[in-house]
Amino acid sequence: MTAALQEILEELERRQVEGGAYRRFFTEENTRNLYPKHWEFFDAGATHRQRLFRAANRVGKTTSAACEVVYHLTGRYPEHWKGRRFNGASQWWVCGKSSETVRQILQPILLGPIGQFGTGLVPKDDLDFESLANAKKSSTGVSSFRVKHVSGNWSQVEFKSYDQGRQAFEGTERSIWLDEEPGLDVYSECLLRTMTGDNCLLMTFTPLKGASEVVMSFSSDGIFEEGTVGPGKHVTSCTWDDVPHLDEATKAELLASIPPFQRDARSKGIPALGAGVVYPVPESEFVIAPQPLPPHWKRLYGMDVGSKTAAVWLAIDPEAGEIWAYQEYYKEREEPSIHTTGIKAKGDWIPGAIDPASRGRSQIDGQQLMTMYADLGLRLSPAVNAVESGLFTVWELLSTGRLKVFSTCTGLLREMRSYSRDEAGKVIKKNDHLCDSMRYAVMTRDIACAHSTLNTQLNSLPTKGWRI
């Protein structure tokens, strides 16, 4: 190769890089087949103001959002673009967890390293270098910069970080990209900034905080679904299996290096179980689709009563001992007769294990709740209520694959995600009625019976006192 030819090739390569690295991503029509989830995220922008890319690690969620922001800043959209479009220049906040992550991740992906601005996703020819004049050292972060829009006007980006606090996110309307999960206070402020005009809110993160308030605001009845999850809200979920650049060997190596309680989050984008969670078992290991119950399996339910009344039904394989939590009940502030009707409707022959503390509670004219429910026709026994022993038993059954939960038990699954201990190791008693009901049933499962054996069991019971 001659020196002249080498010089020409190097110049072409330089022009390609300085012309905007964004042209290397998502610009070909075939990327829709290679990266369908990323294009789902893009396309949803046409009809949704808020979008969450809740994705696994290493799938390209940050790169995809950065490319979209550059499309909006410059006004140069791919020919096959179907997502949101801005008619003119736009104003953006690009936000990360800390000033360090902004400087080390978000700033370079858009601009390139200090001293090499124009080698990031934003084309060099469109950068206003006067707005970058103060960024001369690697330790000096860029606060804001301008980009020339095809209309001839200037788009502007301002970097922010969550560690600046909620007050830093007060201000005028604009579009916002939040990379990594923010706290609810920051998210709420950002939402207000994007609720008018053509502005939009993009969020890209792996849900390592579990079922946080921000994550749950993008869920439907506690279920982590995809697609539209509310007015103007869209969720795209992306796993390792949805991208072509991770082969099986790489995925196996990565998975082996991840703590078990984070594996669903980091490989599938499913909210992680926190370190303080009571049942640190990935949902993928115990949540199953509803299926017919074998008629010979025994059944029972656990019941927690009071101002909030809950019940969870179990089906038990008498030979193998496998347990399925297949049905739930939950209502607030209703008369015992209403609860009784609802519980009987799920099988009035099924025995129940009720919170033994109900014998000392009063709800109507000082009457004992358990006696009242028994008089109304429920087949009840006092539950075994050894709390720590019960929690350990449920955890052991979940972790060994012997306790499964139907995916239709949405309330129970929602409670399990947030069921945790405080720093002192004490279980936080908040929104746990279905969890308690399941524990009562598990610990008192010796009363379970199949429909065909009900008469035999009835004949062996005392005629007074606790009864079914």
Instruction: Please state the domain count of the chain.
Output: 2
Tell me, yes or no, whether 279 lies in a domain. Answer: no
Q: What is the mean pLDDT of residues 380-387?
A: 90
Residue 416: HSE in the Cβ half-sphere, 13 Å Cα cutoff: 27
Last residue of a domain, one of 212, 242, 272: 242
Query: Are 212 and 318 in the same domain?
Result: no
Query: Are 210 and 303 in the same domain?
Result: no
User: What is the per-residue pLDDT across 195-222, written as a single tens digit (0 to 9) for each?
Assistant: 988 999 999 999 887 777 898 889 765 5
User: What is the per-residue pLDDT across 262-298, written as a single tens digit (0 to 9) for each?
Assistant: 788 899 998 865 556 788 888 889 999 999 999 999 9
Which of helix, strand or coil describes residue 331? strand
Query: Are 296 and 231 in the same domain?
Result: no
Which of helix, strand or coil describes residue 336? helix
Tell me, yes or no, whether 452 lies in a domain. Answer: yes
Last residue of a domain, one of 242, 267, 296: 242
Tell me, yes or no, whether 282 lies in a domain. Answer: no
Tell me, yes or no, whether 8 lies in a domain. Answer: no
Tell me, yes or no, whether 153 lies in a domain. Answer: yes
**Residue 440 or 355, more confident:** 440
Query: Are 219 and 295 in the same domain?
Result: no
Last residue of a domain, one of 182, 215, 242: 242
Query: Which of 393, 408, 391, 397 has its CA nearest to residue 328?
Result: 408
Query: Are 221 and 342 in the same domain?
Result: no
* Domain range for 169: 20-242
Is residue 468 over pLDDT 70? no
Q: What is the CATH number of the domain that holds 305?
A: 3.30.420.280
Is the four-CA dihedral 88, 89, 91, 92 of positive or negative sign? positive
Q: What is the CATH number of the domain that holds 62?
A: 3.40.50.300
pTM over 0.75, yes/no: no
Tell me, yes or no, whether 7 lies in a domain. Answer: no
Determine the Cα–Cα distance for residues 324 and 310; give it in Å rounded to an integer. 17
Is residue 16 over pLDDT 50? no
How far is the CA of 392 from the CAs of 156, 386, 434, 441, in angstroms?
Answer: 55, 10, 17, 14
- Write out the two tokens for 369: 């709740």
- Write out the two tokens for 197: 């005009």
Query: Are 212 and 328 in the same domain?
Result: no
Tell me, yes or no, whether 67 lies in a domain. Answer: yes
Determine the Cα–Cα distance for residues 457 and 468; give it in Å rounded to an integer. 10
Tell me, yes or no, whether 322 lies in a domain. Answer: yes
What are the DSSP E strand ranges found in 305-378?
308-316, 323-332, 352-354
Q: What is the mean pLDDT of residues 139-160?
A: 92
Query: Are 171 and 44 in the same domain?
Result: yes
